[in-house]
Amino acid sequence: MGPDRKISSFEIQVPMNEASDSLYLVDFNGNLLLVMRNQADNSTKEFIVCRINLHKKMWSEWIDVRDHALFIGNNSVIVVDASEFTGTCQKNGIYFTDLFESYLWFGEGHDLGIYDYVNETFQWYYEDEHFLSLEEPLVWLTPSL
């Protein structure tokens, strides 16, 4: 770092509620986003996306991710421009895999789908509860164009 750079730190309360099970930090076009995954009965019920406002030192709910999609795994998030994958990638979609803990503790693996962030609806990737019987967590792979 050069001598003209200044580093500062401050504390910001994370906007959690009782249902927030998993938190993910994401760099989205220079904005720091916090994605909160809310679950009940071993199933994802909603996602809340917040953006940090560094000037006000607070989080505010993010309305949409524009033409992008988020891919959430057990401990990481990938952001892609959905327009580069026309017909195969949903804009404002949050693609998610089951949390690995559910495989270990509950013998299940069916919390897998797409959450439409704008319409607050789910599209599930399984037909019944026996669709997946995996012993390892699922991962997202990013293609190189």
pLDDT, tens digit (0-9, with 9 covering 90-100), for 31-78 = 889 999 988 877 888 899 999 888 888 888 887 788 899 999 877 888
CB atoms within 10 A of CB 73: 18
Q: Is residue 129 part of a domain?
A: no
Query: What pLDDT, on a 0 to 100 scale, did the predictor assign at position 101?
Result: 59
Q: Is residue 106 part of a domain?
A: yes
Give the tokens for residue 140: 């997202």
Report the predicted TM-score, pTM, of the whole model to 2 decimal places. 0.78
In percent, the amount of the chain with pLDDT more than 90 equals: 15
Expressed as residue numbers, the domain containing 68 is 20-124
Q: Is residue 83 part of a domain?
A: yes
Q: Is residue 27 part of a domain?
A: yes
Q: Is residue 32 part of a domain?
A: yes
Where residue 94 falls among pLDDT bands split at 50, 70, 90?
very high
Q: Is residue 11 part of a domain?
A: no
d(CA 15, CA 21): 12
Overall number of domains in the chain: 1
